[in-house]
Amino acid sequence: MKEQALQILAEARKRLDTAQVSLAERETLLKLIEVLIEAVERFSQDQKEMTSLAQAVVDHHVLLTLLKQQAEELNALKKLSITLTSSLDLSDVLDTLVSEALQLIPNAQDVHIFLYADGKLSFGAALDSTGNKNTVWSKPRENGLTYTVARSGETIIVEDMQNHPLYANVPSNWRGSILGIPLKTDDKVVGVMNLARSNVGGFTTSELRLLSLLADQAAVAISNAHLHQIISRQAYSDTLTGLPNRRALDERLEEEILAARRSNYSFAVVMMDLDGFKAVNDTYGHAIGDDVLRLVFNQMARGVRSTDFLARYGGDELTLILTQSDISSARIVTEKIVEGMKRLKYILPDKKRLRLSISGGIAIYPVHARTAADLLRAADAALYQAKKYNRGTFQIARGMTGPITSQNIIAE
């Protein structure tokens, strides 16, 4: 019976060779036939049944290969789905997408993702076959592939970049084939994924199906990441002024302390309060008061360095973190703030000009305190002194402020 099995396998191999089945696929099918023969031998030892099974495998090799291929595709997409849902960070999501796309398509040279919003494309992520990451090969051209895909919402396949109208007048080293696929959710294009190959020619039905499924998951993942960004910004922003809120301030202050300790530098915390704002609210109402807060706070935000951090502490109070600053540099900044308040132009409903001043307190890390809570307390105490004795000025904190104790509370 062993000899008969070998004959059946030899015949099957010959037929598969004739059908021009690939080596890897041929070996898989022959292994399947061998397993089936062993099963038949164990129970019936019927040669006709063994031969019939072998012929069926050979005759339906295309179907079996397709099933195997689809199983592999489903497995890849399952893995991708798990990976994409593991993070809501947009940069992580985009890096995962280009990595998976590059692995899914044989001979892929590079993958780019561009985000699309308000009619404009912006770079998202990129990866090439050498591992080079997030380098833009070329910016999208107004009449090029990426913008055309974004605006039309349709997949475009370019089989030969040297002979396609979308690539007219491009550099001579732009060669090979490329596919642009829209990333859509609810019929809205949120991005475009381009996949290029060095060889010319089209993409197989299987490759297009895989990329289409990938694009669907990509669009959902990008939308979820965008939503997460919006919610995160709202959680850390003051709804009235758009400035960072107290929660954002607390986190930034802790980060600044860690950075200052690590790099051995000082920084300033400035607490500020508007003088005369309560009268505006009482006289003209909260709507006018809110308008004034937006005007003053946003004007102040435009005047600080990009490395500094201005937050609404609450009410008409602001907190400013001046990174890598000492008392003298903090003084320069606060003097500019005082002068800026004098130049403020706002006409109240009764045609009077708004006149406000600002008082503040300055605390320096590590001169006046070494923790976030103590720095805020030191700056707030200095603010209190300014409000009480010399409004419209900024006062420096006195001595070292430590943690609150029962003795502090009794003394106060």
11 vs 59: CA distance, rounded Å: 13
- Asked if 226 contacts 234 with a C-beta cutoff of 8 angstroms, the reply is no
Q: Where in the chain is the domain with CATH 3.30.70.270?
A: 246-411
Q: Which secondary-structure segment (H or E) carries 231?
A: helix 205-235
pLDDT of residue 408: 46
335 vs 268: CA distance, rounded Å: 14
238 vs 194: CA distance, rounded Å: 39
- The dotted CATH code for 246-411 is 3.30.70.270
Residue-wise pLDDT tens digits, 375-397: 999 999 999 999 999 999 999 99
Number of Cβ within a 10 Å radius of residue 67: 11
- The dotted CATH code for 70-233 is 3.30.450.40
pLDDT of residue 53: 56
Report how many helices (DSSP H) and strands (DSSP E) the chain contains, helices first: 13, 10
273 vs 296: CA distance, rounded Å: 11
191 vs 186: CA distance, rounded Å: 13
- Asked if 205 contacts 176 with a C-beta cutoff of 8 angstroms, the reply is no
pLDDT of residue 10: 73
Question: Which parts of the chain sit beneath pLDDT 50?
Answer: 1, 406-412
The CA distances from residue 53 to 14, 33, 372, in Å, are: 16, 7, 77
The CA distances from residue 359 to 42, 111, 271, 362, 379, in Å, are: 94, 55, 8, 10, 11
190 vs 221: CA distance, rounded Å: 11
399 vs 382: CA distance, rounded Å: 11
DSSP string across 270-337: EEEEEETHHHHHHHH-HHHHHHHHHHHHHHHHHHS-TTSEEEEEETTEEEEEETT--HHHHHHHHHHH
Tokens of 151: 């605006």
Q: Where in the chain is the domain with CATH 3.30.450.40?
A: 70-233
- Asked if 66 contacts 57 with a C-beta cutoff of 8 angstroms, the reply is no
* DSSP secondary structure code for residue 347 in this structure: B
Tokens of 30: 């022959």
- State the amino acid at position 361 in one-letter form: G
pLDDT of residue 326: 94
pLDDT of residue 371: 95
Rg over CA atoms, the chain? 34
- Asked if 12 contacts 54 with a C-beta cutoff of 8 angstroms, the reply is yes
226 vs 87: CA distance, rounded Å: 12
* DSSP secondary structure code for residue 163 in this structure: G
pLDDT of residue 411: 41
